[in-house]
């Protein structure tokens, strides 16, 4: 598949020097796994203690010394509704600092191509469904995560601006709701799927008779296993070069109620679910239109059930 924007598909050497920013997170760790599985041998990454990406001077020094050829920017401050509502200043400031530093110094120090990873929350709350890439900036955002969304929109626009002004190959991929190994299972600051998994597990262990779940259970959501996303990211790195951002989704949606029942079954919790409708539901429906990516020749491979089984096994193996 030839890349767009007049460029041929990018021929990366398996020894190409690739910097994966945010390698310990859900997305970054999956990208590392994927790159290693297909034979890339020259990957560089830094933990937060080794390189604070919000520190402009530190990022400049890193790029001036390491000189990576390619960058996958998966580092971000992320969280669910509760975290976004509680720490809005952190979500907008930290993410904009990370993006600005990494994108700018990647360009300045000769990186050939950068892949910026955003989120489906960039789209308006009442965007058409499924959500096409063209829905960006056509209406108000979902209030519960607008700070994070605005930061990610700024990242997309920064990549586009550098492409316009400097003819630099920076692309953006917008994943749908993700889950999988290395997810955040924090009791308050996690997204819906890992939060449910942890709560059902703890209820099972404690012998609880019921678990209370936020909202009505009616919102529809799309979930993509993070290993599928990592596969898509590497595919886009090698095959896509154009101005527009690209949606990455599974194309399948499930209600939060159906999801909760499926997670409950996978975990083996036999109690009751109680829905607390006084708590916010968030966006009523969110399904990505990933037809652009499908036309480029990529599709997901991991079913929701199989992905949940593997994620729960990872959770059990990594319980602290």
pLDDT digits (tens, 9 = 90+) for 94-149: 999 999 999 999 999 999 999 999 999 999 988 999 999 999 999 999 898 899 99
**Is the separation of the CB atoms in 91 and 79 below 8 Å?**
yes
- Is the pLDDT at 220 greater than 80? The verdict is yes
Asked if the model's pLDDT at residue 81 lies above 80, the reply is no
User: Radius of gyration (Cα) for the chain, nearest Å?
Assistant: 19
CB-facing half-sphere around the CA of 124: CA atoms within 13 A: 13
Residue range 69-97: mean pLDDT, rounded: 92
Position 311 scores a pLDDT of 97
Evaluate if residue 1 carries a pLDDT over 70.
Answer: no
Mean per-residue pLDDT, 10-37: 95
Give the lowest-confidence range in 31-45, 178-192, 219-233: 178-192
Q: Which of the following is catalytic: 40, 105, 148, 162?
A: 148
pLDDT at position 320 is 67
For the cut 90, the answer to whether the pLDDT of residue 285 exceeds it is no
In a domain, 316, yes or no: no
Asked if the structure places residue 214 within a domain, the reply is: no
The whole-number average pLDDT for the span 69-77 is 97
Within a domain: 275 = no
pLDDT the model gives residue 83:
82
162 among known catalytic residues: no
Considering Cα of 265, then 271, then 277, then 279, what sign does the dihedral take? Answer: negative
Residue 283 confidence class, pLDDT cut points 50, 70, 90: confident
Q: Residue 123 and residue 106: Cα distance in Å, rounded?
A: 27
Question: Which residue segment(s) compose the domain that 173 sits in?
Answer: 18-182+223-251+287-301
Q: How many domains does the chain have?
A: 1
Sign of the CA dihedral running 289, 292, 295, 297: negative
Q: Is residue 313 part of a domain?
A: no
Residue with tokens 């997204």: 191
pLDDT at 122: 95
203 lies in a domain? no
Residue 49 resides in a domain: yes
What CATH number is given to the structural domain containing 93? 3.40.50.720
* Rounded mean pLDDT, 169-179: 96
**CA dist., res. 72 & res. 171, Å (int):** 10
| DSSP-H helix ranges across the chain | 26-37, 56-66, 81-86, 88-108, 146-166, 192-206, 226-239, 256-267, 291-296, 304-317
6 pLDDT above the threshold of 70: no
Q: Is the pLDDT of residue 3 over 70?
A: no
How large is the average pLDDT for residues 235-260?
97
To the nearest whole number, what is the mean pLDDT of the chain? 93
DSSP 286: E
Rounded to whole angstroms, the Cα distance separating 55 from 57 reads 6
Local structure of 285: helix, strand or coil: strand
Helix, strand, coil share (%) of the chain residues, nearest 5: 45, 15, 40
Evaluate whether residue 12 is within a structural domain.
Answer: no
Determine the Cα–Cα distance for residues 134 and 123; give it in Å rounded to an integer: 9
Would you say residue 197 lies in a domain? no
The two three-digit tokens of residue 226, written as one number: 């993070």
Q: Give percent of the chain above pLDDT 70.
A: 97
Cis peptide before 183 (omega within 30 of 0): no
Mean pLDDT, residues 241-247:
98
The percent of residues above 90 in pLDDT, for the chain, comes to 85
Neighbour count for residue 178 (Cβ, 10 Å): 24
Alpha-carbon span 47 to 115, nearest angstrom: 19
Which of 33, 68, 73, 34 has the alpha carbon at shortest distance from 53?
73
Q: What is the pLDDT of residue 282?
A: 75
Q: What is the pLDDT of residue 2?
A: 34
- CA dist 28 and 20 (Å) reads 6
Residue 147 contacts residue 194 (beta carbons within 8 Å): no
Tokens describing residue 1: 């598949």
Place of tokens 């530190």: 58
């Amino acid at each position: 598949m030839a890349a767009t924007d007049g460029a041929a598909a990018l021929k990366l050497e398996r020894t190409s020097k690739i910097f994966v920013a945010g390698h310990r997170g859900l997305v970054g760790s999956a990208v590392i796994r994927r790159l290693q599985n297909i034979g890339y041998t020259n990957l560089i990454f830094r933990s937060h203690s080794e390189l604070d990406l919000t520190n402009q001077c530190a990022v400049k020094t890193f790029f001036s010394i390491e000189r990576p050829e390619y960058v996958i920017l998966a580092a971000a401050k992320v969280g669910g509704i509760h975290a976004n509502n509680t720490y809005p200043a952190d979500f907008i400031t930290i993410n904009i600092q990370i993006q600005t530093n990494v994108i700018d110094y990647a360009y300045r120090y000769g990186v050939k191509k950068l892949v910026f990873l955003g989120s489906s929350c960039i789209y308006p709350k009442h965007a058409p469904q499924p959500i096409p890439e063209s829905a960006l900036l056509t209406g108000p955002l979902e209030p519960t995560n607008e700070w994070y969304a605005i930061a990610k929109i700024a990242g997309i626009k920064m990549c586009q601006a550098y492409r316009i002004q400097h003819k630099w190959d920076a692309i953006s991929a917008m994943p749908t709701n993700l889950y999988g190994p290395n997810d955040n299972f924090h009791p308050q600051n996690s997204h819906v799927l890992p939060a449910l998994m942890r709560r059902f597990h703890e209820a099972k262990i404690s012998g609880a008779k019921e678990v209370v779940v936020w909202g009505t259970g009616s919102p529809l959501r799309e979930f993509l296993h993070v290993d599928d996303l990592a596969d898509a990211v590497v595919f886009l790195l090698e095959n896509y070069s154009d101005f527009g951002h690209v949606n990455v989704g599974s194309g399948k949606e499930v209600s939060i109620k159906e999801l909760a029942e499926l997670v409950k079954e996978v975990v083996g919790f036999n109690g009751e679910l109680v829905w607390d409708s006084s708590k916010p539901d968030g966006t009523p429906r969110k399904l990505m239109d990933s037809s652009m990516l499908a036309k480029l020749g990529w599709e997901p491979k991991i079913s929701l059930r199989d992905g949940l089984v593997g994620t729960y096994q990872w959770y059990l193996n990594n319980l602290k």
